[in-house]
Structure 1
């Protein structure tokens, strides 16, 4: 099985969950060599250092489980000011790469009559948000891709689903909070407190909570769940 974004907070939690469940786990990462080495040494996972923002190839391409965790948010500009390079990069990493990887793994899955694709969406797969046009557009597109793949593979033993977490306590959310604090002239903790206050639970999701849902969707017990959009958001979007 393959996890993209495997050294991010959420991706690492997913790699850990699958490795503990006995899966031989491959993961893609780009920058964090230290985390990649730790996953290899402690879990026996195999890492591929690949930059998804350009053309890429995988040393191994036949997987029975694909978890598309890799995602970026590199723009906090209003729509009229979004740089086209930032738009292109975010759409590529957040939706084009899951599309390309799905194309890569589906023939083998269909041939074997079993496979799981799980895409990590967001609460912004369902709603809009100011200063997040590329991110919101990419998550809406990923949701549409999920549903299309689910219909095309129905009754083949292959399923495709997405998970929609609210803000996850993670490296990404801290990077975003830093950018927003600078834009607003506030502190990082002020921005993080705002994220927590928006959720009925008064906190952010943990990476482990999302990873456990991914693990379930990739298992045999979830064989009749297909094209679903599973919220892990504490009831933030109801």
Structure 2
């Protein structure tokens, strides 16, 4: 039995209609895992990414109707409106937003970071997410069960050297979740942040390769060092994050709002 079959029907439908979620950064990494999990659970998906193609695992269901792919750049101020309009035109509603798209930043100290580098990170990691939330909120209100989930980071509260732009963007993203929770609670909308730790994604591997080179150690050794600091002794996976997202979207988390949910294997204890 699949997870979709196990989940109560009421958690993925409103008035007999399947819920619709917008997922950004859906072509790879955590976004791909989140989109797949939502499809399996019965959601209809607007899958947004700068990539012009999706992995086969996401393309296959498109013929049966539950997923539409949007090639977008969240640095474009009009993207949020475009995605919401696509959800309405394709599926007639918008019930959830998962802001997953993000970039890692220049990887240099703040003193060496340019205005352009700061702006590039904030445009996608923060402003793109804020604009999408703003455009979606009127429709999430109509849903009556609107959900916003922003994918943050361990590094929002526990920054590492050479990561100021990334850390500040993710810290502000968590603040955005709390602001929306306070403002929109009376409309039945919840807003939360999922904060992954060391996740086995392409972006993490690229960053780890850079750090390993700086330290003069093989990438395998550096990755093993990271795992040794995690109580569960492993990297996280997209399924780990997708599980937290599914819970926050479910009826079981209907009274959870304005919170940051760590998914870090016990690396940091709140």
The answer to whether residue 93 in structure 2 is matched with residue 60 in structure 1 is: no
Q: 1:143 aligns with which of 171, 174, 178?
A: 174
1:126 alignment counterpart: 157
C-alpha root-mean-square deviation of aligned residues, in Å? 1.6
2:183 alignment counterpart: 152
**Is contact 1:167–1:205 with CA below 8 Å preserved after alignment?**
yes
**Is contact 1:50–1:56 with CA below 8 Å preserved after alignment?**
no
Shift of 1:166: 0.6
**Divergent runs of 4+, >6 A:** none
**Is contact 1:90–1:135 with CA below 8 Å preserved after alignment?**
yes
1:6 alignment counterpart: 26
CA distance in 1, matches of 2:115, 2:222: 27
**Is contact 1:61–1:105 with CA below 8 Å preserved after alignment?**
no
Q: How does 1:1-238 map to 2 (within 5 A)?
A: 1-31=21-51, 33-35=53-55, 38-42=57-61, 44-57=66-79, 58=82, 59-60=85-86, 62=88, 63-238=94-269
The answer to which of 121-130 and 2-11 deviates more is 121-130
The answer to which of 108-117 and 218-227 deviates more is 108-117
Structure-2 change in CA distance of 1:42 and 1:112 (3 Å): closer
CA distance in 1, matches of 2:126, 2:175: 10
Structure-2 change in CA distance of 1:32 and 1:74 (3 Å): farther
Structure 2 unpaired stretches of 5+? 1-20, 89-93
Shift of 1:155: 3.1
Q: TM-score, normalised by structure 2?
A: 0.83
Max Rg structure: 2
**Is contact 2:77–2:128 with CA below 8 Å preserved after alignment?**
no
Number of residue pairs matched? 237
Shift of 1:182: 2.7
Structure-2 change in CA distance of 1:192 and 1:56 (3 Å): farther
Q: Deviations over 1:53-81 (max 9, x none)?
A: 33443251542110011111032111111
**Equivalent residue of 1:60, what SS?**
helix
The answer to which of 197-206 and 184-193 deviates more is 184-193
CA distance in 1, matches of 2:223, 2:43: 34
Structure 1 unpaired stretches of 5+? none
